Structure 1
Amino acid sequence: MVKMRVLLSGYYGKGNGGDEALLATLLQMLPPDVTPVVLSGNPEETHRRYGVESYNRMELLQVITTLRSCDAFIWGGGSLMQDTTSAISPFYYGGLMAIAQVMGLKTVAWGQGIGPLLRPQTRWLAKRNFAGCSQVSVRDRNSAALLSEWGIPHILAPDPVWALESKPVPELAELPQPRIAVTLRNHPQLTETRLANLIDALVDLQQATQAFILLLPFQKSEDLGISEKIQSQLKDVSKIICAEDPQILKGAFRGVDMVIGMRLHSLIMAASEGCRCFALSYDPKVNRLMEDLEIPGWDVKDLPDDVNIISKAWIDFYQNGEFLSSEKIQSLMDGAFLHRELLQEALK
């Protein structure tokens, strides 16, 4: 029996732990009789890590040739159709989806977070793309509401990464407990002054709790410099762990008492491993998660100017904040597997 070839498109091979986690989860959920082919920013690394056929996402002629060799095309999770961080991005992903649909491939939008879509052109393109898909799954209520407004059938389920299998991190066994994890990223809203205030508050938090600080860069190019700045103020009580395997990255949150996170998937991974989360939001997708899980935090642009207010909020949350119940975590993990059921239905 000839296996169905399926082309997977997302923000893969760019060193972003969240997007790599989505790819790992998608590969984990694909039916066994499917041959995945991945478009990547680093096809050699993607092939090495996952053992899959992979091609350069920016070599258009090769992408078209690869599309012709495939039976189906999948948008593989995340906020691909949004125009706030990039005006070009939705035209890249939307263009690929349109080409696949014109070619007659079966097309699937999987684990999507739609928007913000501020421009009429990108909104029109997104509506057209989603309407042409044979199956659509989204990860948040706002995206589901938009599709309902457009009259497009879909399923709503928790982010697929809730279902990603984690792996243990051997080096954690040697580190002191309790532990607090920190995942900050470079962003225009995180000014030098705000970062300095956060670092001072982290120093206060560490002294008050005597916790060991795990610094987890999710994307080295955006996060490592910030982690190094933090570590310079917490020299003997912190460690930077750069894990490129998303399953190991998720495993780094095992046994962590609290996470302070900007990145969406740092909060999802931490919560799924039973960790209390405090969010610093730079994007509506983080705010949506905060609302859904009742996660405390601030928008980065609204961060208090007083270091004492920040540190007091963190110390209070460390001492009194509630964990997600095991029943809630299991419910979210079970719900995430609806994305797998959609794939099984779509790729029959």
Structure 2
Amino acid sequence: MQRAVLCGYYGMGNGGDEALLASLLQMLPSHVQPLVLSANPKATEKLHQVESCDRYSVRSLLRAFKRSDAFIWGGGSLMQDATSARNPIYYGGLMGLARGMGLNTVAWAQGIGPLHRPFSRWITKLAFNACDRITVRDSGSAQLLADWQIPCIMAPDPVWALKAEPTPQLLSLPSPRIAVMLRSHPLLTNAKLTCSIEALKYLQAATDAYILLVPFQPSKDEEIARQIHASLPTKSAIIVQDNPRLLKGIFQGVEMAIAMRFHGLIMAAAEGCRCSAISYDPKVTRLMSDLGIQGWELAELPDRPDAIGREWVEQFANREPLSSAQIKSLVDRALIHTQVLAEL
């Protein structure tokens, strides 16, 4: 039995990152025992049924590394400086420490960037050079590593392959249903949010659909969900779900999803929903392009509710979801990420 330290944006209450951890645990070989670095170890242990330790405690980190054989950067955009310049330093530092302590190092399902600062790019290149094996989830990350002459394997995001479970909360709610996943962002101004809420009213009136408001990270998303619910009090509901399999299962009972959240789009598309996107990040824009998802860049969101609403109604009525063959192909290719884990 080998022990592997799993490192990612875990225990932060972000449904997408918890889904990445659940996918990693699902794909991890049976001979590998995980030890998860988390901002909330007790919550991680309860949710995922794994051993966990405090990602902020130097003593806990050193103890975990000394007890382990491998270090795995879990999936997602860890090496980026758009949210904080500290991210590359923290994650790159842990990769360097793991390498220095002789652990087998794996960068798994990475989405690299944005990297706005020269120092961030330098430490990211250094960190990936320290990896024994690398998989990435998009062509932009693969191209960056190719430019640095660092070999990697590319496959779709692992959450495509996460096994969903039906969500009991939906049974008592009217149908058809439209899921909405907005998040706070400097470009989502009060004016744009008000416009979007009016557009949702237009969409709901035209389709008679029930609106499911799904905060992927409640600390950043729930206030927006509450504002929308206040405008559609009898025609919407807020669903907070921390279990990633049940979170993905929500979309088994949804006709259409409107999302800013990257993994919200993946979960919805994987469960056969029509999708519309509002992109705040290059990773969302790339996903829109790869899957042919319609929508807008957040900065270019129309300022007329009827323009947004008419587009959403058109997508609801006429836009086809991914075919079962397309979904199967994406799921099968996402399982390529298991290859580097099998070699541990």
TM-score bin, normalised by smaller chain: over 0.9
Q: 1:317 aligns with which of 299, 315, 318?
A: 315
CA–CA distance in structure 2, aligned partners of residues 49 and 204 of structure 1: 38
CA–CA distance in structure 2, aligned partners of residues 334 and 121 of structure 1: 37
Q: Which residue of 2 aligns with 1:295?
A: 293
1:54 partnered with 2:49: no
Q: Which residue of 2 aligns with 1:117?
A: 115
Q: Which residue of 2 aligns with 1:132?
A: 130
The one-letter code sitting in structure 1 at the alignment partner of 2:102 is: G
CA RMSD of aligned residues (A): 0.7
CA–CA distance in structure 2, aligned partners of residues 250 and 52 of structure 1: 20
Q: Which residue of 1 aligns with 2:277?
A: 279
Please state how far the C-alpha of 1:255 moved relative to its aligned partner: 2.5
Q: Which runs of 5+ in 1 are unaligned?
A: none
Could you tell me the percent identity over the aligned residues? 56
Alignment of 1:34-73 (within 5 A): 34-73=32-71
Structure 2 SS opposite 1:174: coil
CA–CA distance in structure 2, aligned partners of residues 49 and 79 of structure 1: 22
Q: Which residue of 2 aligns with 1:255?
A: 253
Structure 2 SS opposite 1:337: helix
Please state how far the C-alpha of 1:69 moved relative to its aligned partner: 1.1
CA–CA distance in structure 1, aligned partners of residues 21 and 342 of structure 2: 17
Please state how far the C-alpha of 1:337 moved relative to its aligned partner: 0.3
Q: Which residue of 1 aligns with 2:152?
A: 154
TM-score using structure 1 length: 0.98
Structure 1 SS opposite 2:74: strand
Conservation of the 8 A alpha-carbon contact between 2:260 and 2:277? yes
Structure 2 SS opposite 1:259: strand
Q: Which residue of 1 aligns with 2:31?
A: 33
1:210 partnered with 2:224: no
Please state how far the C-alpha of 1:287 moved relative to its aligned partner: 0.5
The one-letter code sitting in structure 2 at the alignment partner of 1:99 is: L
Q: Which residue of 2 aligns with 1:228?
A: 226
* Alignment deviations for residues 159-211 of structure 1 (CA, whole Å, 9 cap, x no partner): 00000000111121221111100000111111111000000000000000000
Aligned length: 344
Q: 2:332 aligns with which of 311, 331, 334?
A: 334
TM-score using structure 2 length: 0.99
* Alignment deviations for residues 286-326 of structure 1 (CA, whole Å, 9 cap, x no partner): 00100100111111111111111111111111111121111
Q: 1:241 aligns with which of 234, 239, 242?
A: 239
CA–CA distance in structure 2, aligned partners of residues 217 and 136 of structure 1: 31
CA–CA distance in structure 2, aligned partners of residues 300 and 14 of structure 1: 24
Structure 1 SS opposite 2:254: coil
Q: 1:4 aligns with which of 2, 5, 9?
A: 2
Please state how far the C-alpha of 1:239 moved relative to its aligned partner: 0.9
The one-letter code sitting in structure 2 at the alignment partner of 1:166 is: A
- Greater shift in the superposed pair: 280-289 or 126-135: 126-135
Alignment of 1:56-205 (within 5 A): 56-205=54-203
CA–CA distance in structure 1, aligned partners of residues 114 and 156 of structure 2: 19
- Greater shift in the superposed pair: 262-271 or 46-55: 46-55
CA–CA distance in structure 2, aligned partners of residues 48 and 231 of structure 1: 30
Please state how far the C-alpha of 1:80 moved relative to its aligned partner: 0.2
Conservation of the 8 A alpha-carbon contact between 2:170 and 2:253? no
CA–CA distance in structure 2, aligned partners of residues 197 and 72 of structure 1: 49
